[in-house]
Amino acid sequence: MASSETKTLKRVKRGVPEGLWQRCPGCQAAIFRKEAERRHNVCPECEFHWYVSARDRIAQVLDDGTFEPWDDSLRPTDPLDFSDKKAYRDRLQVEQQRTGLSEAAITGTGMIRARRVAFGVTDSAFIMGSMGSVVGERLTRLIERATDQQLPLIIISGSGGGARMHEGIFSLMQMAKVSAALARYDSAGGLFISVLTNPTMGGVAASFASLGDVVFAEPRALIGFAGPRTIKATIRIELPEGFQTSEFLLEHGFIDRIVPRSKLKSEIARTIDYCGK
């Protein structure tokens, strides 16, 4: 009797379980989490596109159970013995445990509506999705395999961090390496569809993310090189409203199309067919 009473009390006290609702950064509305998840993490009130993890991207874009990872065994090291607020090697360990990822990029092959593709995705949850040596190497090998096997190449970038400063020059070199691999892929007649998501900045925007034969972006994504404050301080002019958003970049010809998340898979398949790949 006493124990059942305690149980009832506990249940009442517990109230709404934590994490059942989440606040939308786009419209500030409280959104039922399950509803947002059902809509691929897009706000039902304002269509704001929330963060999606690399693994969820794979589930959203590739046909069920078709993804096979490549170069999963590559692991980041700490070539500079770098330390900022904490040692880089410790930071890596923490990020790996927190995200369940070994690095900020997952690459491999899979099917999109029964078309085989080479597929890569970066995850902004892992040190801002920045391009360390392993991210660059995984992407380069992905592009080289796509070249050898004549596969369409799809890379979805969610990288707010650009090059990874913890790896210094080793990180900066990845921009050139990935771009060179893409140039060879292009010469071989490959089709590269680059998908930009919120955020795509810095060395990632300045290398592979901008080099697509076709560049898609999700609505209202932040896309650019340096942040607005840095640019303003450098060139000393007022920046136009919303100049680093997908919509602004579409208007100025930097991207080819804005594709809502719910249509991304179909649009990629359609583009592959349209280009005869």
CB-nearer residue toward Zn ion: 49 or 138: 49
Q: Is 36 in the site for Zn ion (CB under 5 A)?
A: no
Q: Is 43 in the site for Zn ion (CB under 5 A)?
A: yes
> Which two tokens mark 70?
């490549």
* Cross-strand partners of 87: 83
Handedness of CA 57, 59, 62, 65 (dihedral sign): positive
Out of 36, 41, 48, 58, name the contact with Zn ion by CB under 5 A: 48
Out of 34, 37, 38, 45, name the contact with Zn ion by CB under 5 A: 45
CB-nearer residue toward Zn ion: 26 or 79: 26
Q: Is 221 in the site for Zn ion (CB under 5 A)?
A: no
Pair 80, 166: CB distance under 8 Å: yes
Q: Is 216 in the site for Zn ion (CB under 5 A)?
A: no
CB of 55 to Zn ion, least distance (A): 24
Q: Is 112 in the site for Zn ion (CB under 5 A)?
A: no
Q: Is 35 in the site for Zn ion (CB under 5 A)?
A: no
Q: Is 44 in the site for Zn ion (CB under 5 A)?
A: no
CB-nearer residue toward Zn ion: 36 or 178: 36
* H-type alpha helices, the chain: 2-14, 33-38, 54-61, 88-99, 133-148, 168-187, 202-205, 228-235, 246-251, 264-274
CB-nearer residue toward Zn ion: 43 or 215: 43
Q: Is 50 in the site for Zn ion (CB under 5 A)?
A: no
Whole-angstrom CA distances from 21 to 28, 33, 37, 40, 252 are 12, 5, 11, 15, 37
The strands making up 115-122's β-sheet, listed across from edge to edge, are 68-69, 105-112, 115-122, 153-159, 192-200, 214-217, 257-258
Q: Is 172 in the site for Zn ion (CB under 5 A)?
A: no
Q: Is 46 in the site for Zn ion (CB under 5 A)?
A: yes
Site string for Zn ion, 2-31 (x = CB under 5 A): ----------------------x-xx----
Q: Is 148 in the site for Zn ion (CB under 5 A)?
A: no
Whole-angstrom CA distances from 4 to 13, 15, 77, 195 are 14, 18, 54, 54
Q: Is 42 in the site for Zn ion (CB under 5 A)?
A: no
CB-nearer residue toward Zn ion: 46 or 111: 46
CB of 199 to Zn ion, least distance (A): 17
Counting every residue written for the chain, the total comes to: 277
Question: What is the DSSP code (8-state) at residue 236?
Answer: -
Rounded to whole angstroms, how far apart are CA atoms 109 and 105?
13
CB-nearer residue toward Zn ion: 9 or 27: 27
Distance, CA of 59 to chain centre: 14
> Residues touching Zn ion: how many (CB under 5 A)?
7
Residues forming contacts to Zn ion in the complex (CB under 5 A) are 24, 26-27, 43, 45-46, 48
